[in-house]
């Protein structure tokens, strides 16, 4: 399985983003932190929508960005799926056509729409379905591209609690079969602990372990990327 390796720096007007982490295939890495902490900037750097000032982003043996070598692949050359809050579907296309956009495998699109419970709505336009159904379509569209990496930037935050939990659980259930690195962004620490294989707490652009109140002190910087299952075994309390 491929891995996504990220080590980047990006100067912003309010603070500098400076993070380093790796996400393996079939793994859910969650970026968690307060609003405005730099989580979306990190995802945009991975997607190629922003260019790092320093650092390197690699997906398997493919270099997506390397400041030292002058490499910066544009978004369309990075094989990834990207779903965010209020994902804008094409209003003039049906859900089926939206899901199939950029895909060459009609059978896979059909399978995904059935998997996410919207196959019966394939002939409906986006304005005729609910917000949850639109987000299901956005996920189908992202996965139908057969991405090497899936980016999920607070994709369900605008939905009601029940729908959010159902969609989140659907994504988690699929991660093993997909076998690709998955990056999930949230500001909800409880959600992060519930779904993460690797948890990266981000505050003011850097990994900040104070989001997890560990009984252990004196950790090395690389240990700030926490594994939630181990963290729960150590009975870590949460810092709100």
CATH of the domain at 167: 3.40.50.300
For residue 230, pLDDT beyond 50:
yes
240 compared with 156, residue with greater pLDDT: 156
**Burial annotation 14-47 (CB, 10 A radius, 16+ → b, else e):** ebebbbbbebbbbbbbbbbbeeebbbbbbbbbbb
Overall pTM > 0.75: yes
- Tens of pLDDT, residues 80-138: 999 988 778 999 999 999 999 988 899 999 999 999 999 999 999 999 999 889 999 99
Pick from 32, 67, 49: which is nearest to 191 by CA? 32
Residues 170 and 69 in one domain: yes
Residues 141 and 154 in one domain: no
Tokens for 225?
A: 């990327």
pLDDT of 228: 57
Residues 193 and 207 in one domain: yes
pLDDT of 84: 86
User: What count of other Cβ atoms lies within 10 Å of the Cβ of residue 162?
Assistant: 9
Residues 171 and 234 in one domain: yes
Listed residues 123, 146, 169: the one ending a domain: 146
Residues 201 and 186 in one domain: yes
- SS3 category, 227: coil
**Residue 121 gets which letter from DSSP?**
G
**Rounded to whole angstroms, how far apart are CA atoms 221 and 19?**
11
Confidence grade of residue 233 (pLDDT, cut at 50, 70, 90) = very low
**Rounded to whole angstroms, how far apart are CA atoms 99 and 181?**
21
Residues 41 and 75 in one domain: yes
- Tens of pLDDT, residues 58-81: 999 999 999 999 999 999 999 999
Q: Which residues constitute the domain of residue 205?
A: 3-79+149-238
pLDDT of 89: 92
For residue 229, pLDDT beyond 70:
no
Contact 63, 44 (CB under 8 A): no
User: How many domains are contained in the chain?
Assistant: 2
**Residue 1 gets which letter from DSSP?**
-
**Residue 163 gets which letter from DSSP?**
H
Residues 158 and 233 in one domain: yes
Residues 211 and 234 in one domain: yes
For residue 150, pLDDT beyond 80:
yes
Element (H, E) at 192: helix 189-195
Residues 44 and 122 in one domain: no
Residues 104 and 206 in one domain: no
212 compared with 229, residue with greater pLDDT: 212
**Distance from chain centroid for Cα 6:** 13
């Amino acid at each position: 399985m491929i891995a996504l390796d990220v080590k980047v720096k990006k100067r912003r007007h309010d603070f500098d983003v400076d993070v380093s982490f790796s996400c393996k295939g079939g793994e859910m890495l969650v970026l968690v932190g307060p609003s405005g902490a730099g989580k979306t900037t990190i995802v945009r750097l991975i997607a190629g929508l922003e260019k790092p000032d320093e650092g390197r982003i690699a997906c398997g043996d493919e270099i997506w960005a390397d400041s030292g070598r002058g490499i910066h692949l544009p978004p369309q050359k990075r094989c990834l799926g990207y779903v965010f809050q209020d994902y804008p579907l094409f209003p003039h296309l049906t859900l089926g056509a939206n899901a199939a956009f950029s895909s060459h495998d009609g059978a896979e699109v059909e399978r995904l729409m059935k998997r996410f419970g919207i196959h019966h709505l394939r002939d409906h336009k986006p304005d005729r379905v609910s917000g949850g159904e639109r987000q299901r379509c956005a996920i189908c569209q992202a996965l139908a591209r057969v991405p090497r990496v899936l980016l999920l930037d607070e994709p369900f935050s605008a939905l009601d609690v029940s729908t959010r939990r159902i969609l989140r659980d659907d994504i988690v259930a699929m991660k093993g079969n997909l076998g690709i690195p998955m990056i999930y962004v949230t500001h909800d620490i409880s959600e992060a602990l519930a779904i993460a294989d690797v948890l990266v707490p981000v505050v003011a652009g850097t990994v900040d372990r104070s989001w997890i109140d560990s009984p252990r002190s004196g950790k090395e910087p690389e240990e700030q990327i926490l594994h939630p299952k181990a963290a729960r075994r150590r009975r870590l309390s949460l810092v709100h």
